[in-house]
Amino acid sequence: MRTSQNIKMHACRLVPTLLLLVCHSASAQAIHEYTVTVDYALSRLFVEARFNGSVDTVSARSKSAGKYLLDVRGCEQSRAIRMRNRRMMLPQGGITCLNYTVDLARAAGEYRSNKGLAEGNAVVSPSMWLWRPEVNSSSALNIHFRLPENVRVSTPWQKTAANSFYLGKSPESSNARVVFGNFHYEEIEVSGARLKVAILNSIEPVNRLKIRDWLRAAATDVTLAYGRFPNPSPQVLVVPVGNSRSDSAVPFGRVIRDGGETVELFVNQTMPLQALLDDWTATHEFSHLMLPYVGRKHRWMSEGFAQYYQNVLLARAGSQDTLRSWQKLYEGFERGRRSRPELSPNEAAEGQIRTGLMKVYWSGAAIALMADVRLREESGGTESLDLVLGRLQECCLPSSTVWTGMELFSKLDTLTATPVFMSLYRRYANTAGFPDVSEVFERLGLAVDGGRVRIRRHAELREIRQAITEIDPETASWRQQLAAVPEL
């Protein structure tokens, strides 16, 4: 049987890029070993946790987790461990091994979309079933799943071997997703990454191929920022929704940072491929991964940068023409300007005011544009927002911590010889109203008449405008070829 240290070093050899920081401090980490057995009916989880030394407390993240526990006892004890106020009453002196059983079928009911899944599939958050000591910079978990035949598992955690994963410290923006069942799984390669894609329902092969092409296209869009995808191995969950009430090809998407990074996308798989390629949702969500998780008070940064990049990148990929991208940015800025003008971006984000959402989403996009233009202008074209974010990815992503907005902007300023971010923060973050981009538009040669944007041929910063949305011919040609293939 391998020791914790041997398993850890084996993980380092398998995925050195993903676990570089973890492996560097492997000798200092306490690694707890978990074996999770799933029954054939996907109704029970049987968990054995062998701790690295004695622990006096274990907990689950969800307040509901206790009601799904069916049995808990120490590995060497016959007496069941009692619960009090959702807390396991461990024996005095702690415990080194724990066995417990979870009602998987009931716990999966917490995920509302399970109702629409095909039989034999279940999505359940680890917050409902993973009882653990604290995971921090000095402790982590190795989790091995024992699965029935024809059952797969998808997690956001770093894979170390077949059905084995490493779970270290991470932000907890929302509850992670672990999927069990006979769902379709494949890995999609793009520059710098291998996307771990799980399609949660049984759908026709032609629709699976369509979804694969669309995901590869959207992920490739994001590589047009600095040449590679920002996360080397994200979990991508695709939830087919068929003919939903929405007329959108991708009605909903979001990023979850919990034990890793997950992009969850609800997709109308009956739509033609062109409709999927024209939709901005996946490009927006993938763009979020270019920044670390920023706390809610400054979420206008993460949402705004994603808004900026979804339009810039779709222009570079040839998915929408340059004028349309600038028009959509202008319209977004106008929505942000009209949204709660008495609030600053920080106030709008921290207050969680629904009527201030457009300020949250678009004030950050305006500041991203300002930063990009200033970097390019003041450096003579040797710097850009693309390059700075590429350096951020090299040094700091994926990140295991929650960042404040000031930490993020301060860090970005250290990654360029042309610091602009903190000056923009001081100017706009706590200032009521909306960042005024009219001068930037004017200098870029973007004239607005009656709400319609026109591109002027002669402008002071014409070359910068062209560089921001310059089409990548190879990507644009490939997208055109995809769209031209007749669907079966």
- Running DSSP on this structure, what letter comes out for residue 76? T
* Both structure tokens of 402: 């929650």
Q: Show Cβ contacts of residue 198 under 8 Å, excluding neighbours closer than 6 positions.
A: 152, 154, 179, 183, 184, 185, 235, 236, 237, 238
pTM, two decimal places: 0.92
Structural domains of the chain ordered from first start: 4-113+122-169 (no CATH), 183-289 (1.10.390.10), 290-488 (1.10.390)
Please tell me whether residue 38 adopts helix, strand or coil conformation.
strand
* Both structure tokens of 80: 């069941």
Q: Give the closest residue to 129 by CA, choosing from 204, 64, 206, 53.
A: 64
* Both structure tokens of 139: 């402790």
Q: Show Cβ contacts of residue 303 under 8 Å, excluding neighbours closer than 6 positions.
A: 360, 361, 364
The C-alpha atoms of residue 216 and residue 195 are separated, in whole angstroms, by 9
pLDDT per residue of the chain (488 residues) written in tens, 0 to 9: 333 334 333 334 334 444 444 444 445 789 999 999 999 999 999 999 999 999 999 999 999 999 999 999 999 877 788 887 777 888 888 999 999 999 999 999 888 776 667 778 899 999 999 999 999 999 999 999 999 999 999 999 999 999 999 999 999 999 999 999 999 999 999 999 999 999 988 788 889 999 999 999 999 999 999 999 999 999 999 999 887 777 899 999 999 999 999 999 999 999 999 999 999 999 999 999 999 999 999 999 999 999 999 999 999 999 999 999 999 999 999 999 999 999 999 999 987 666 789 999 999 999 999 999 999 999 999 999 999 999 999 999 999 999 999 999 999 999 999 999 999 999 999 999 999 999 999 999 999 999 999 999 999 999 999 999 999 999 999 999 998 887 76
Rounded to the nearest angstrom, the gap between the alpha carbon of residue 335 and the centroid of all alpha carbons in its chain is 25
